[in-house]
Amino acid sequence: MKFNIDIKHIIKLVWYFIKVELPQVLSNWRAVPRLMMALYAWMVYDTIKWFTALPDPTNAQAGLVSIVVGAGAGWFAIYTNTSKPKEK
């Protein structure tokens, strides 16, 4: 069996997927906000783990942890307020 591979057709299909389908999938699944929230959760976990392992934390270190954890309110507000635009 011999297959006739048309490279131009394959490139058009890949370009269509990248231009039309991929943004739609990312928007429907809200992939970017979910990824950002996951990365923030990982950062908070590592920060708290680092802070609790310190033998004698200073006020500056406590302030850093406070700011990192407090930034979660902003991240969560951005995450919950982003949604798909309503179609007319």
Whether residue 29 lies inside any domain: the answer is: yes
Q: What is the reported pLDDT for 36?
A: 85
The DSSP call for residue 85 is P
Identity of the amino acid at 24: Q
Domain that holds residue 55: 7-81
Whether residue 61 lies inside any domain: the answer is: yes
What span, in angstroms and rounded, lies between the C-alpha atoms of 10 and 5? 8
pLDDT of 37 strictly over 90: no
Whether residue 88 lies inside any domain: the answer is: no
Whether residue 60 lies inside any domain: the answer is: yes
Task: State percent of the chain over pLDDT 70.
Answer: 89
Whether residue 13 lies inside any domain: the answer is: yes
Task: Report the number of distinct structural domains present in the chain.
Answer: 1
Average pLDDT, integer, range 72-83: 78
pLDDT band of residue 49 (cuts 50, 70, 90) is: very high
pLDDT of 68 strictly over 70: yes
What span, in angstroms and rounded, lies between the C-alpha atoms of 32 and 2? 42
Whether residue 21 lies inside any domain: the answer is: yes
Phi-psi region of 45 (alpha: psi -120 to 50; beta: other; left: phi over 0): alpha
Whether residue 27 lies inside any domain: the answer is: yes
